[in-house]
Structure 1
Amino acid sequence: MKHKTKRVFWGFFSLDYKAIGIYLEEMAAKGWMLERVGRVMAKFRAIEPRRLKFYVDVFKDEDPLTPANTKESEEYRSLCQASGWTFITSQDYLQYFYSEDDDSVPIQTDEVLEQKIVETTLFKGEILNTSLILIVGIVALAMHFPVRHHHLLSFAGVAVTVLFPILFGAVLTSTVYSVTRVFKARKNIKRGLPLDKPTLKNAQKRIMAFNGIAMTIVSLIMVAFLVDAYFKPSSVIPIIGPVLGTIIGLGLRYVIKNKSTDKNSGIAYITLVVLAAFFSMAIVSSLLSNRPFDDSNRIDPVPEGYPLVTMMELIETSQQGSLAIREFNRGMSPLTPLHYDYLEVWDFEKERQGVRVRYYNTIHPLFAQMIFDGITEELTRGVKFRGNYYLTKTILSDEAMKSSWRMDHLALTEDRDELILQQGNKVVHLSGKVNFDDGQIKDIILNRLFMDNQ
């Protein structure tokens, strides 16, 4: 065979364990033998097409945090081996076996006992997993909505805003289905009826309907993060902690599942994962706290092709000075194709002065107004630190100035050191000791930053 191994998407529910056996028999007939099963993917190796019988059993003494090779599991697999079943691999409670003899006696011959095992293991695991996923989804949804103006400025922000409700809907539907199925199966057991045995075709439809949608959306969001990293590498810093914590956690879980034989290793795993999470957050906090901002002494070149005004065009001074900082950070998103943050700082004889220009060019005035409202609300609210808000500012509405500047919306801070303008699909946020009442400065801003709108 050209390919000796291959990986397939694995989206079966644990209660589909009967359908999984049928699926593995079909794969063996096509020349593929199961080698390993993970949370998302399953690995198969090439074999000569053979007719094999597979059995997926539920072993209550192994769970997501228990090592796969404990004394109890080894004894259990030895008994199955003596009955003619060859052990392949395990995934939490599910144990995978195959036999070359079509007449092999099933591992579980007592259907009542099997149903009892399923009730005490898979039901609890299924409910716990779906509940945790749903809780995480609800928390994430509450944190991201209502939509903030920052979400319109990046590919990841737009992708999460648009796609996350769809993902949450798929997760909610999957959760409702799983819980309903669990209670239905439990009801059958109490009535003395056999468990429903889903067909392989139905199980595969659910895989595509629930997991296929989720995997597609997660993949699109990851691509959006990569695009943002291209335009602004620092945008990946906030996700370093979660990613690093996940990698450490999965690594520890792999070691405990495959290398340990102590049944109590799960407690150590949980402790180490918690420590890894705190360690990861400490690393990210350190990176952010040591990251240079206004005192970075960066001197970026003045970019070409961007509508821009410089500090020396906006202030009047007779002092001699030297350029201390000039930073230009560009951004891009599907809803705001062009936006940037420009900071210019000069050292004069008696003081240091700076001007910051934030420019947003959206695809529609609706998004421009969302950005305008978001900026004004953010200035009014200030910065939250340890439950208190600091650096709050009073926002003024000057109708005469708005009319003079020919703006759709205009806001000015009480100290008149920040001006937010919105005209059509553009928003400009200027801050610094600028005389915004000066007619010449007004003309410079309008001609440079709103040229297309004039």
Structure 2
Amino acid sequence: MLKKTKRVFWGFFSLDYKAMETYLEEMAEKGWMLEKVGVLTAKFRAIEPKKLKFCVDVFKKGGPFTPENTIEAQEYRKQCEKLGWTFITSQNYLQFFYADSDVDPAPIQTDDAYEHRIVESTLWRNEMVGMFLASIVAVMGLTRFFPISYKGLLSFTGATGTIFFPMLCVFMLTYTIYGLIRVLKARRNIKKGLPIEKPSLKSARRRIIAFHVPVLIIGIILILSLLGDALYKPQIVGLSILGPVFGFIVGFSLRYFIKKKAAKEEDSILYVTIAVIIVVVFLFIANSLFEDMFVSNIYRQDSIPEDYPIVTMEELLEGSEKGRLGIRDFNPGMSPVIPKHYDYRETRNIIGNPESMRIKYYKAINRYFADIIFNGIKEELEKGIKVKGKYLFSKTIIKDDEMRVLWNVDNLVLTEDRDEIIVQKGDTVVHISGDIDFDDRQTRELIFSKFF
């Protein structure tokens, strides 16, 4: 049984509205008639293959959050029908019409200069403002990944973002510059009395491939990275995903109700107000629920998998000094460049006094990323914790080359109080803190045999 309808990836930029006409004519000749145009896809229904004429016109009183069937829109479409065109559907500012091949409808726009003014005040402004805002957000987002932070390499999203987010920024900035060039060229033609260059279907398809395909690939990679992080940090990832997903659902629903249910532009204010209230209430409830889940997850005592090297306080202490085990917390993680890492904390009650130890272990795919981890931890200890613009709890880091030779490692530094040590050998980095005698030979041999 032949399909009666199908959806295709749309991908056209609004400034390519004339190229859409050629595309729709080709689809009609193949037996597919346009029914609806969405944000990313267009819906077609099966018809007898035939030649049809299409017109995609710009209605300046439309918009992404303007009702589809306002009095002005209905009057405009009636005027177009008098010219011989049959209305199909609309998408924001664009209105789609068709006519049979044996009909000779009058053109809706007859003045190139006037048409360009409409395009400039609607499509160009809407598309370019969106691209400019996206470019600004992209540049601001670069501060999230650059300069490269060692903590950003510890998750799938951080590692893939560090690699692919700059590529995404390049595509967005490139298209913004390209759009400006197109508009400036059109303005120059109008001043010289020359016709405005109409984009061909071939050039529009090139733009679709050049911009949408890389963005789509990067988007898929980022989604997969979120799924990877969800295996290790479901609470944190769940909260980070839930907000954007819920925002998308509310935004899509808001747009639908405004487009389909509202009769006047003023009705949009009511729907927007309701949507804002829903988002605020939802985020408040969701934040409380995930906060409780996150806290309960932190203080649980997890078992340690056998394939993770670990040194416990019981192994470091002897006799009565071993005391009684208190809290034990093990949080593993994984990323494409740091495939195995964990944060281990242990406390023991020794002769009535609580003693603690913390181990952070990082196994990188090569020496380059291990260097970033080692230097990142060292700089973090030197800076301390930033509170209200000031750095607190900063520590003095010292190098002990004699100790490094004894440990037989590539890099080794300690805090001045010698209560923390950072050791790197090849692609492995270990950061240990606690009341431990790192100069002790047995301690050194135990740590080296476990981790290196």
Encode CA deviations 1:287-310: one digit per residue, 9 max, x unaligned: 565455599542222311221212
Aligned to 1:225: 226
Aligned to 1:422: 424
Ranges in structure 2 where 5+ consecutive residues have no aligned partner: none
Aligned to 2:305: 303
Aligned to 1:449: 451
Aligned partners of 1:198 and 1:295: how far apart in 2? 56
Q: CA deviation at 1:188?
A: 1.7
Q: CA deviation at 1:278?
A: 5.7
Aligned partners of 2:39 and 2:286: how far apart in 1? 28
Counterpart of 2:117, as a letter, is K
Q: 1:119 to 1:192 in 2, by over 3 A?
A: farther
Aligned to 1:313: 315
* Structure 1, 239-248 or 357-366: larger mean CA deviation: 239-248
Counterpart of 2:23, as a letter, is Y
**Secondary structure class of the residue paired with 1:21:** helix
Aligned to 1:205: 206
Counterpart of 1:354, as a letter, is S
Matched, 1:214 2:215: yes
Aligned partners of 1:94 and 1:218: how far apart in 2? 27
Matched, 1:80 2:80: yes
Counterpart of 1:14, as a letter, is S
Q: CA deviation at 1:377?
A: 1.7
Aligned partners of 1:294 and 1:401: how far apart in 2? 40
Q: CA deviation at 1:179?
A: 0.9
Aligned to 1:132: 133
Aligned to 2:190: 189
Aligned to 1:95: 95
Counterpart of 2:157, as a letter, is A
Q: 1:414 to 1:231 in 2, by over 3 A?
A: same
**Secondary structure class of the residue paired with 1:342:** strand
Aligned 8 A contact 1:65 1:265 in 2 = no
* Matched-pair identity in %: 50
Matched, 1:234 2:235: yes
* Structure 1, 195-204 or 254-263: larger mean CA deviation: 254-263
**Secondary structure class of the residue paired with 1:121:** helix
* Structure 1, 122-131 or 101-110: larger mean CA deviation: 101-110
Ranges in structure 1 where 5+ consecutive residues have no aligned partner: none
Counterpart of 2:247, as a letter, is G
Counterpart of 1:193, as a letter, is L
Aligned to 1:49: 49
Aligned 8 A contact 2:235 2:290 in 1 = no
Counterpart of 1:307, as a letter, is P
**Secondary structure class of the residue paired with 1:124:** helix
Aligned partners of 1:240 and 1:384: how far apart in 2? 28
Aligned partners of 2:317 and 2:245: how far apart in 1? 45
Aligned to 1:171: 172
Encode CA deviations 1:365-415: one digit per residue, 9 max, x unaligned: 111010011112222223334433344333232233222212221222233
Matched, 1:409 2:416: no
Q: CA deviation at 1:430?
A: 1.4
Aligned to 1:251: 253
Counterpart of 1:314, as a letter, is L
Q: Which of residues 430, 434, 437 in structure 2 aligns to 1:435?
A: 437
Q: 1:353 to 1:4 in 2, by over 3 A?
A: farther
Q: 1:368 to 1:385 in 2, by over 3 A?
A: same
**Secondary structure class of the residue paired with 1:173:** helix
Aligned to 1:380: 382
**Secondary structure class of the residue paired with 2:320:** coil
Q: 1:269 to 1:199 in 2, by over 3 A?
A: same
Aligned partners of 1:135 and 1:436: how far apart in 2? 49
Q: 1:63 to 1:190 in 2, by over 3 A?
A: farther
Counterpart of 1:226, as a letter, is L
Q: 1:238 to 1:120 in 2, by over 3 A?
A: closer
Counterpart of 2:107, as a letter, is P
Q: RMSD of the alignment, in Å? A: 2.6
For normalisation by structure 2, the TM-score amounts to 0.90
1:263-342 equivalences under 5 Å are: 263-267=265-269, 282=284, 286=288, 289-292=291-294, 296-316=298-318, 318=320, 321-342=323-344
Q: 1:234 to 1:438 in 2, by over 3 A?
A: farther
Q: 1:349 to 1:364 in 2, by over 3 A?
A: same
Aligned partners of 1:352 and 1:28: how far apart in 2? 78
**Secondary structure class of the residue paired with 1:306:** coil
Aligned partners of 1:113 and 1:385: how far apart in 2? 57
Q: CA deviation at 1:167?
A: 1.6
Aligned partners of 1:43 and 1:421: how far apart in 2? 60
Counterpart of 2:123, as a letter, is L
Aligned 8 A contact 2:316 2:443 in 1 = yes
* Structure 1, 52-61 or 372-381: larger mean CA deviation: 372-381
Q: 1:354 to 1:317 in 2, by over 3 A?
A: farther
Q: CA deviation at 1:182?
A: 1.0
Counterpart of 1:190, as a letter, is K
Give the aligned length: 450
Counterpart of 2:200, as a letter, is T
